[in-house]
Structure 1
Amino acid sequence: MPQEAWIDALPQAVLLTRAGLVTRLNAAASRLWGVSQERANGRPVLEIVRRHTLETLVERGGELELEVSGRTLRCTATHHEDYGALIVEDVTEHRRREAELREATAVLSHEFRTPVAALRGVLEALEYDMPQDLAQNFVRQGLQETERLARLVEDLAVGFRPTRARTLPLAEAFARAERLLSSELSAKHTSLTFGQDYLVRADPDKLLQVLLNLIENALKYGPAGEPIHVRTAARGTWIEVSVLDSGPAIPDTETLFQAHTRGKTAHGQGSGMGLYIVRSIVHGWGGQAWAERNEEEGRNAFSFTLPGVAGLGQG
């Protein structure tokens, strides 16, 4: 009937019933269950939806979600006397966006935890009387952590603006990382050594974020006093950067890059998001990120690639 044409224009699948028998399917429902209106008319609900959970939902009313062939369907049913209606909506994209929001929240929690904790420690220490040179040292540490926080706040806008990629020498990013980590390096009596310089194409802040994450992991899990090496090499048009530490061998390195995953030897608090963040950033510029154990050297290598630029360090 022409006055019912509106129901076929709905994006949701709609099934109407009377006394447990189907009286109407709209176009979306016909596509969903692969049954025409003519064939469905007068048949039991179960013959059309082919799921006892949906049959029961139509009988009793209510709401549920189903996972069907990789899609998330929100099913809502109403029932009044002999009449019933089932509305099915594909909410896969909505659920994906919710998952991304939860992931972003976890990322922010992970990234802000370290500088906030460090600033708290600095402020608590400054409450006490101490020699002027020691107090100045705490102030310097606080300023370094404030710089990290400022960078993180700036990074919040990355998803809403074009990537700020530019050509830069790796040495520039290495120098920034070493400066920001100087207090942590001193506390662990550890030094950083860097490999050959190369020109690369990347967002400088994101490259720094990757380096800080990998070097901080090496500081956390490597033995105190052992230098941390950042090795570089050209791989065709890509530059490979590896952060090497002398910590214990890591089993199942691939799972470390999954969200909310920490290594079996991990200690202390942590969200397990650090390496997930690294891989996400590196994939953003088209590179790869991985971890492996070099048994000959007795070291763990956490590596990533980024686009190289013909010139410095390349023949």
Structure 2
Amino acid sequence: MTVSGLPEGTPLPPTPGQDSWIDALPQAVLLTEGGQVTRVNAAAVRLWGVPQDRAVGRPVLEVVRRHTLETLLERGGELELEVGGRTLRCTGTRTGGHAALIVEDVTDHRRREAELREATAVLSHEFRTPVAALRGVLEALEYDMPQDLAQNFVRQGLQETERLARLVEDLAVGFRPTRARTLPLAEAFARAERLLAGEVTAKQVELVFGQDHLVRADPDKLLQVLLNLIENALKYGPAGQSIEVATAARGTWVEVSVLDRGQPIPDSESLFRAHTRGKDAGGQGSGMGLYIVRSIVQGWGGQAWAERQEERNAFCFTLPGVGGLG
């Protein structure tokens, strides 16, 4: 035994102030020599719960308590671990008999990456509708037609171009507060009917809209909700059947329901989660449509849900009303 009380050959802990810079690092750092720990910094003490005076001289496994990290330190390299709900990026380096293990908490970074992917998926889904509408307008304008009809197509194209411009602004500077105004539901219904006319004709479906109400909403967001719900009904409902967009006053709110005669949906609530599609969904899809619907509706304080009403699937949402028409 030496005067320090440690077995002969055990590395001595650093004196106060020695290598103090290492304790200021946010990453957990563990240093070894000959397979034994020579130093742990303050972040490592917090991570593994083993103070410096107890860690020095111990085998690595006794401190980190994970064979994965022990192997990483022996071989070198990098890996990520999920520990207690946190994501840790671990790096092992070795020079001769000396080695270092550096562990960084990247949980917040990974969460921001996931949020960015989610925002990108939402935006790509929202871009799809105006782009498709513009394509239809341009294809129509290739043919000779009466001047008034051509002007109508041009107005539609300009309207969708404005929608695209607003989406680009949102992408560039972040999602801004809603551009809400008072409008009759019939205005949004007319836009949706015009944009979906080709799909409705192809599916030989009758699209029926309910009673008009004055509401308070962002017109583009309301249109996006209607398009997503009606497109779903067109996609999954039987051909040749009617799709009804029903409306009803619910106190100070207005309830809108898109009803189709598709097969019952066993777990409709799960469809409102991001990147989720029904088990019988065919073709390609992002699984973001109903997630976007609920996100938009909750943004103006409403609710969005699905239920079975007699022989029909009903996808419903509420939005603020502003009293009766007329």
Mark the CA change 1:122 to 1:139 in structure 2 (over 3 Å): closer, same or farther: farther
- 2:45 aligned counterpart, secondary structure: helix
Shift of 1:212: 1.2
The corresponding residue for 2:273 is 258
Structure 1 contact 233–241 (Cα < 8 Å) conserved: yes
Q: Which moved more, 1:191-200 or 1:254-263?
A: 191-200
Q: How does 1:1-315 map to 2 (within 5 A)?
A: 1-113=16-128, 116=131, 132-133=144-145, 144=156, 147-148=159-160, 150-158=162-170, 159-187=174-202, 188-195=204-211, 197-200=213-216, 202-235=217-250, 237-294=252-309, 296=310, 298-309=311-322, 311-312=323-324
CA distance in 2, matches of 1:168, 1:121: 26
CA distance in 1, matches of 2:274, 2:141: 37
Question: Which structure has the larger Rg over C-alpha atoms?
Answer: 2
- 2:246 aligned counterpart, secondary structure: strand
Q: Which runs of 5+ in 2 are unaligned?
A: 1-15
RMSD (CA atoms): 3.0
- 1:2 aligned counterpart, secondary structure: coil
Cα distance per residue 1:177-210 (max 9 Å; x no partner): 234334443443422212451433x333212211
CA distance in 1, matches of 2:70, 2:248: 62
- 1:265 aligned counterpart, secondary structure: coil
Cα distance per residue 1:103-124 (max 9 Å; x no partner): 2333344344455456657767
Give the count of matched residue pairs: 306
- The one-letter code matched in structure 1 to 2:43 is A
Shift of 1:86: 1.0
Cα distance per residue 1:200-242 (max 9 Å; x no partner): 3x33321221111111212222234433222233445543321
Shift of 1:63: 0.5
What percentage of residue pairs aligned between the two structures are identical?
73
Mark the CA change 1:33 to 1:109 in structure 2 (over 3 Å): closer, same or farther: same
Structure 1 contact 141–183 (Cα < 8 Å) conserved: no
Cα distance per residue 1:133-176 (max 9 Å; x no partner): 49997996687467446414422433342332344443443333
Q: Which runs of 5+ in 1 are unaligned?
A: none
- 1:157 aligned counterpart, secondary structure: helix
Shift of 1:32: 0.9
Shift of 1:308: 4.3
Q: TM-score, normalised by structure 2?
A: 0.80
CA distance in 2, matches of 1:28, 1:186: 65
- The one-letter code matched in structure 1 to 2:167 is D
CA distance in 1, matches of 2:251, 2:49: 51
- 1:32 aligned counterpart, secondary structure: helix
